[in-house]
Amino acid sequence: MSQGATQAVAATQGSSRDPAIDNARALLITLVVVGHLLNMISSTSGEVLYLWIYSFHMPAFVAVSGYLSRSFANKPRQLGRLLSAVLFPYLIFQTMHTVLPVLVDGDEFDFHLWTPFWTLWFLLALFLWRLATPLLTALRYPLLFAIAVSLIAPLDPDLDKTLSWGRVLSFLPFFVLGLVIRPEHLATLRAFRFRYVGYLVLLAGLGVAIAGHTKLDPSVLYASASYDTHGGSDLQGVILRVLFLTAAALTLLALMLVTSQKRHWWTDIGKNSLTVYLLHAVLIFPLRDSPFLDSVDGPLGTVLVILSGIALTLLLSRDWVCRATRWLTNPPIGAWFFTDPARDQPAETESSSAQQPGSAPAGDAPAAEAGPPPGGQTTTVSLAGEP
């Protein structure tokens, strides 16, 4: 390892948070909000940007989630926080999204527990990935196993959105990629001299989106259903999946190359990404079928929508918003289900975590571990999240 990479590892282990990880999450959660708004307008430039964003932002979020899940071992304290920060917010917001169509569109109340609404697929997927983490990390070749699952699972014509299984299996390689990455790997990447290569790769992806936005259905990038859903053969589906996995992995590498390693005024957006992720879908839901947004077209309209998405992200990531809505986004009830959730506390103190080589930085705990401690004091929760 180079001297620069060694120094980067030491800096990461000696600090409570890794600003580069928070910066990446800040960028990705902003793309989530912007992408959802772009999907509501009628603009060619918006379609191009939407396709480009969806070619990498979901895989990148999943990979970051895997990286922050490396220490998850299904211990009582971790399981309690998994319930508080992932499962119960899913139940709360699934109910809210069931009520919203009743209030906004006058639809009948129709609650579906096992089929996540819109953005909530990621919470169920993250819940299942986290529970499977000890098994995945025990495999001899976990990444090869995950790639095989991603390629084989969509051969089943019944694969669908139930319990997010389509995406759980299809995006599994990126979660496992995050699990097998170590801080020293990131440090070596950050020490790479020719970081401009990352910008070239991202621009190349944008070029592909410009050239192919009329030919490629963005739903292929959702990876939520079987191959035959898109009308092609299974062989064509496998080939597209291989191309997608390869392109997304290269773009993820490029993203980490260009992500700033320093703390900025916007870094805390990543720390508060769970709040942004959950609340933005509620706020923009009434706009999904809005004739106003549907009438927006042209480059100027696209720019205004992008700026609106950035502004909404900044607003929802404010600490006061997080504190005011924590009872929804991170209800402190996970400890109720475990008799002694703190029995593994000595092994997970911030000081020991920060000092162990290869361990996740204490401040970069997974979303499931960033919930309220057993004593009831709440802490800020972050999430590497969805489309």
Q: What is the C-alpha to C-alpha distance for residues 61 and 383, in angstroms, rounded to an integer?
A: 9
- The helix/strand/coil state of 12 is helix
Residues 134-144: pLDDT tens digits?
Answer: 999 999 999 99
- Mean pLDDT over residues 309-325, rounded? 95
Tell me what pLDDT residue 126 has.
95
Residue 26: what are its φ and ψ, rounded to 5°? -60, -45
Of 68, 84, 65, 17, give the one whose Cα is nearest residue 341.
Answer: 84
- Whole-angstrom distance, CA of residue 163 vs CA of residue 167: 9
Q: Is 261 exposed, middle or buried (0-12, 13-18, 19+ CB in 10 A)?
A: middle
Cβ(330)–Cβ(85) below 8 Å = yes
Question: Taking the alpha carbons of 258, 260, 266, 269 in that order, is the dihedral positive or negative?
Answer: positive
Estimate to the nearest angstrom the gap between the alpha carbon of 311 and the chain centroid: 20
Tokens of residue 370, six digits: 């960033």
In contact, 367 and 68? CB cutoff 8 Å: yes
Mean pLDDT value of segment 128-153: 96
Of 244 and 344, more confident: 244
DSSP letter at 2 equals -
pLDDT at 339 over 70: no
Encoded amino acid at 160, one letter = D
Residue 378 pLDDT: 38
AA letter at 293: L
Residue 218's pLDDT band, with cuts at 50, 70 and 90, is: confident
Query: For residue 81, what are its two tokens?
Result: 């926080």
Please, which pLDDT band fits residue 50 given cuts at 50, 70 and 90? very high
* Span 178-190, pLDDT tens digits: 999 988 888 888 8
User: Is residue 199 within a helix (H) or strand (E), and if so which, with residue range?
Assistant: helix 196-212
The single-letter DSSP state of residue 217 is -
Give me the DSSP letters along 57-96: HHHHHHHHHHHTTTT----HHHHHHHIIIIIHHHHHHHHH
Q: What is the 3-state secondary structure (H, E, C) of 347-375?
A: HHCHHHHHHCCCCCCHHHCCHHHCCCCCC
Residue 277 has pLDDT above 60, yes or no: yes
Segment 77-86 shows an average pLDDT of: 91
pLDDT for residue 10 is more than 70: no
Lowest mean pLDDT among 86-95, 99-108, 212-221, 260-269: 99-108
The per-residue pLDDT for range 101-121, each reduced to its tens digit, is: 888 767 778 788 888 988 999
Measured CA distances, 119 to 41, 308, 315, 366, 373 (Å): 18, 19, 19, 19, 27
Tell how far CA 78 is from the center of its chain.
19
Residue 170 has pLDDT above 80, yes or no: yes
Between 368 and 277, the more confident residue is 277
CA-to-CA dists, residue 361 to 338, 358, 369, angstroms: 25, 9, 12
CA–CA–CA angle 154, 68, 331 (5° rounding) = 95
The Cα–Cα gap between 363 and 317 comes to 17
pLDDT at 132 over 70: yes
pLDDT (0 to 100) of residue 341: 45
Tokens for 356? 């162990």
Would you say the pTM of this structure is higher than 0.85?
Answer: no
Instruction: Please say if the pLDDT value at position 381 is more than 80.
Output: no
The length of the chain in residues reads 387
What does each C-alpha distance from 175 to 67, 133, 137, 368 come to in angstroms? 8, 9, 11, 15
Could you read off the pLDDT of 153-169 as tens digits, one per residue?
A: 999 988 888 888 999 99
**Which residue do the tokens 């527990």 mark?**
113
Q: Are 305 and 296 in contact (CB under 8 A)?
A: yes
- pLDDT band for 306, please (50, 70, 90 cuts): very high
Residue 299: CB atoms within 10 Å: 11
